Amino acid sequence: MSMYQLPEHSLLRKKQFLYGVATASFQIEGAADSRLPCIWDTFCATAGKIKDGSDGKTACDHLRLWRDDLDLIESLGVDAYRLSLSWPRLIQLDGELNPAGLQFYIDLLDELKARNIKSFVTLYHWDLPQHLEDKGGWLNRDTAYKFADYVEKVSTALGDRVYSYATLNEPFCSSFLGYEAGIHAPGLTGRGNGRKSAHHLLLAHGLGLQVLRRTAPHSLNGLVLNFTPCYPHTDSPADKAVAEQADQYYNQWYLQPVMTGQYPEYFNRLTDEEKPVIEAGDMALISQPLDFLGVNFYTRHVYTANADHEFAVVEIKDAEKTDIGWEIYPQAFYDLLTSMHQKYKLPPIYITENGAAGADKLENGQVQDEQRQRYYQLHLNALHQAVEAGVNVQGYFAWSLMDNFEWAEGYSKRFGIVYVDYNTQQRTIKQSGHAYRQLLQSRV
Ligand code: FCB
């Protein structure tokens, strides 16, 4: 495939539709010794947590190679670059700004502006400073106020350099994977931990957004959530009920409070010990209007009623999967966007992540990532259909610019549209990346 195909009249073929590529600080930056330790450093140093035993000490060596990486981004012809700021690089132990860390982001943002590439900046993409985790991390309500203080200092210092701020990336992953399922840093478990950390993350979002309204009134300020739509295995009422509950628990838990100021009904099923403490004013802070909602989508889950498991996921055996085992099911992307649009009065939507992991090989200077190209082709078309159905989507970011540290999977899973050789740090645009550039260039 030389380029992704979309209907002639599609909004996605117009120049006004924004395209970008996305990364996150811990996944690409490296240079771990020039910042404070974070929860992911600790998690990586714990035996058995990362599949290939790797860590983020060097990653894509982006702190050294960032100018070349900006050349690469520019060469893809994108309108925007989504990156995250490293809290442990920007803030010192005493809570003050770290001048060297700040200068790095100032230089990067200035260079993006000089190249006419819009910056979509996420303030928290999971790298919580370890000293805050030592005080309870997201289980401690005070961390939300620490976040607001960090946002205040950083957004004031960056001035008008940032086109768009997102407070958090995927609070589901931080709270559920990090504090409830133990799969991500800091590796805690238990429903109470998951639900309490989720509330403090949402509170941090609300406090952070309130700060941004003052310090960055001209930026597009919002939040990025991820969704794994839930489908029943059969039409039986029992399967349908499980899928509905799972949707509340994994997806709506983060969207509904932001849109309506209320947790889903499932909240009432929590025991008193599991329930977060909700103080007066919290839900109003959490449900402040957003300038945009970032939606991250990769796959769906299928659920069945099972006496031993509240949310039993069924593996769809004959479905096509990506290298990370996620089913390719673009219909869920369409269903997700249209159902959200029906349910809530949504702000403008940006697809802030979408992409596929592949067992890519660099051969004769090329990476023929056929499945990833198909994935993008299918998902861009599902997105087009959702736009046709009336969903207000303004932009799309491919995850990811380049292969990087894929959290608990280490470097074994490659999501880039650019291949990274970790021995040489050489970058090679994959076929999917060339096809992306062609689509972007062909817009009218
Ligand atoms: C998302 C994360 C991102 C990346 C992709 C594959 O959940 O936001 O950092 O790991 O998944």
CA atoms within 13 A on the CB side of 172: 21
Instruction: Say how many Å lie between the CA of residue 272 and the centre of ligand 1.
Output: 32
Does residue 403 have its Cβ closer than 6 Å to ligand 1? no
Q: How far apart are CA 163 and CA 109, in angstroms?
A: 10
- Contacts of range 232-241, beta carbons closer than 8 Å, 24 or more positions apart: 232/302, 232/303, 232/304, 233/302, 233/303, 233/304, 233/314, 234/304, 236/305, 238/305, 239/303, 239/304, 239/305, 241/305
Per residue in 189-216, pLDDT (tens digit) is: 999 999 999 999 999 999 999 999 999 9
Does residue 120 have its Cβ closer than 6 Å to ligand 1? no
Is residue 27 within 8 Å of 405, Cβ to Cβ?
Answer: yes
The residue from 353, 363, 370, 406 that is catalytic is 353
Q: How far apart are CA 277 and CA 24, in angstroms?
A: 31
Residue 113 pLDDT greater than 80, yes or no? yes
pLDDT band for position 23 (cuts 50, 70, 90): very high
Is residue 333 within 8 Å of 389, Cβ to Cβ?
Answer: no
Ligand 1 site-directed mutation target among 26, 170, 227, most atoms within 8 Å of CB? 170
Per residue in 271-301, pLDDT (tens digit) is: 999 999 999 999 999 999 999 999 999 999 9
What pLDDT does residue 268 have?
A: 98
Does residue 24 have its Cβ closer than 6 Å to ligand 1? yes
pTM: 0.99
Which element (helix H / strand E) includes 256?
helix 253-260
The residue from 29, 133, 170, 406 that is catalytic is 170
Q: How far apart are CA 402 and CA 72, in angstroms?
A: 10
Does residue 297 have its Cβ closer than 6 Å to ligand 1? no
Ligand 1 atom at shortest distance from the alpha carbon of 173: 7
Instruction: Say how many Å lie between the CA of residue 212 and the centre of ligand 1.
Output: 24
- E-strand ranges in 174-249 read 220-227, 230-232
What pLDDT does residue 69 have?
A: 99
What pLDDT does residue 2 have?
A: 78
Ligand 1 atom at shortest distance from the alpha carbon of 357: 6
Q: How far is CA 429 from the centre of its chain?
A: 22
Q: How far apart are CA 299 and CA 224, in angstroms?
A: 17
Size of the chain, expressed as the number of residues it contains = 444
Does residue 169 have its Cβ closer than 6 Å to ligand 1? yes
Is residue 128 within 8 Å of 36, Cβ to Cβ?
Answer: no
Instruction: Say how many Å lie between the CA of residue 379 and the centre of ligand 1.
Output: 17
Ligand 1 site-directed mutation target among 40, 126, 168, 173, most atoms within 8 Å of CB? 173
Ligand 1 atom at shortest distance from the alpha carbon of 355: 6
Does residue 415 have its Cβ closer than 6 Å to ligand 1? yes
Mean local confidence (pLDDT), 89-110: 98
Query: What average pLDDT does the chain have?
Result: 98
Is residue 148 within 8 Å of 204, Cβ to Cβ?
Answer: yes
Instruction: Say how many Å lie between the CA of residue 307 and the centre of ligand 1.
Output: 31
Residue 31 pLDDT greater than 70, yes or no? yes
Q: How far apart are CA 357 and CA 369, in angstroms?
A: 10
Q: How far apart are CA 375 and CA 329, in angstroms?
A: 9
Is residue 74 within 8 Å of 112, Cβ to Cβ?
Answer: no
Ligand 1 atom at shortest distance from the alpha carbon of 170: 8
Does residue 282 have its Cβ closer than 6 Å to ligand 1? no
Catalytic annotation present for 353: yes
pLDDT band for position 1 (cuts 50, 70, 90): low
Does residue 127 have its Cβ closer than 6 Å to ligand 1? no
Mean local confidence (pLDDT), 348-356: 99
Per residue in 3-21, pLDDT (tens digit) is: 999 999 999 999 999 999 9
Is residue 384 within 8 Å of 7, Cβ to Cβ?
Answer: yes
Instruction: Say how many Å lie between the CA of residue 185 and the centre of ligand 1.
Output: 14
Q: How far apart are CA 32 and CA 38, in angstroms?
A: 9
